[in-house]
A = this chain, B = another copy of it.
């Protein structure tokens, strides 16, 4: 049976979404979706098949994206996987001792239920789960 879990998007922290998007438009022929805002960041999505590159430009220096950018410079901030059942996936994390940032699902910017896992449990990757 093919795995029903898919990669939904890859979040990339950038100083300027328009400047960063130019590469994906110029070289990889991606189409821009309209800007949206989430948490502390402006977001531009660039679809590649079913997976989006999400460029995240901080709106403040002290939110999570602003802090990441100050500390590490531009780069991949997180990967989001879409699972068929978020509650069941979080229970599997608890059962196996994987560390959760969000012990229970919360509502993301676009109304989706999401939860973040701690990079200590996932090979250094900040990992978001959604349904």
Partner of A10, one of B20, B30, B79: B79
A73 touches B23 (CB 8 A): no
Whether A105 is near chain B, meaning CB under 8 Å from some CB there, is no
A66 CB, min distance to chain B CBs, angstroms: 15
Select from chain B the residue with minimum beta-carbon distance to A76. Answer: B76
> Are A5 and B20 closer than 8 Å at their CB atoms?
no
Q: Answer yes or no: A60 CB below 8 A from chain B CBs.
A: no
> How far apart are A14's CB and chain B's nearest CB, in angstroms?
5
A interface residues (Cβ-Cβ under 8 A, vs B): 2-7, 10, 12, 14, 20, 23, 26-31, 47-51, 55, 73-76, 79, 81, 83, 89, 92-93, 96, 98, 119, 121-125
